[in-house]
Amino acid sequence: MLTSLISRPARLLYACLVFMASVIYFASMVMSAPAGLAEPPNGEKTTSLAERLDKRQAEQQLDIGSELKQRILSKCEAAQGLVNKLKTRDGVIRDKYKNQYFQFAEKLETITTGLAKQGVSTSALVSAQQRITEAINQYLVDAESYRVAINDLASISCQSNPEGFYITLQAARASREKLKTDVDSTARTVPDIKNALVKIKSELEQQ
């Protein structure tokens, strides 16, 4: 489900990381932890399945009806088998994506902080950094919502609670769509970061 989200944004991040390395060449700095990034708490530890189902029902206000209920009952167990296989693959992709974001944020924070200490103007870079930090944080929130929904989808007793299975399926789909938006939002900030770095690198080379 997440594979299609990765290729182009990952290439953009990699290209910008390569360029950032060239800026580090002109301004030697010590690496620091990413600033502003905040992983959300584990939703499965902070809420119960019953609480999550109640919340989803309150948000969606769905009445599945008898016909849809019968279709769910006839297919949900087979669907859960596929979801269980999907969980592992999605987990690997999600962790890889998060690590890419954290690596990018770490290098960007190192450069921004170091340049500021040297008296280099970083206003444009800081502005772009704030935007990508917000986008990454939103991605982390929505990725956690998606992870929890997928886990719930795999574990819920769909034969005894087809309504819960269905609203959780809808929640997982909604979270996946949000992830697409989050990835696009993050990717849109990368050119601004690169442009700011191009200007700074040019200034450093002239010193």
HEC per residue, 119-140: CCCCHHHHHHHHHHHHHHHHHH
Q: Which residues, 6+ apart, have CB-to-CB distance to 147 below 8 Å? A: 43, 90, 91, 94
Question: What pLDDT was estimated at residue 33?
Answer: 40
46 belongs to a structural domain: no
Count: domains in the chain? 1
Tell me the residue type at 154: A
pLDDT over 60 (residue 23): no
Contact 162, 73 (CB under 8 A): yes
pTM: 0.80
Question: Tens digits of per-residue pLDDT, 181-197?
Answer: 998 999 898 889 888 88
Q: Which residues, 6+ apart, have CB-to-CB distance to 36 below 8 Å? A: 105, 130, 133, 137
**Closest listed residue to residue 128, CA positions, set 185, 190, 183:** 190
176 belongs to a structural domain: yes
52 belongs to a structural domain: no
**Closest listed residue to residue 122, CA positions, set 133, 134, 111:** 111
- For residues 105 and 18, give the distance between their C-alpha atoms in angstroms, rounded to a whole number: 13
- For residues 124 and 142, give the distance between their C-alpha atoms in angstroms, rounded to a whole number: 28
178 belongs to a structural domain: yes
Question: What pLDDT was estimated at residue 135?
Answer: 93
59 belongs to a structural domain: no
Question: Tens digits of per-residue pLDDT, 73-124?
Answer: 999 989 998 888 888 888 888 888 888 888 888 888 888 888 888 888 888 9
Contact 56, 175 (CB under 8 A): no
**Closest listed residue to residue 163, CA positions, set 43, 76, 99, 89:** 76
Question: Tens digits of per-residue pLDDT, 147-206?
Answer: 999 999 999 999 999 999 999 999 999 998 999 899 899 989 888 988 888 888 887 777
Contact 149, 168 (CB under 8 A): yes
- For residues 140 and 161, give the distance between their C-alpha atoms in angstroms, rounded to a whole number: 29
48 belongs to a structural domain: no
Q: Which structural domain range is residue 163 located in? A: 3-29+65-205
51 belongs to a structural domain: no
- Sign (positive or negative) of CA dihedral 95, 9, 82, 48: positive
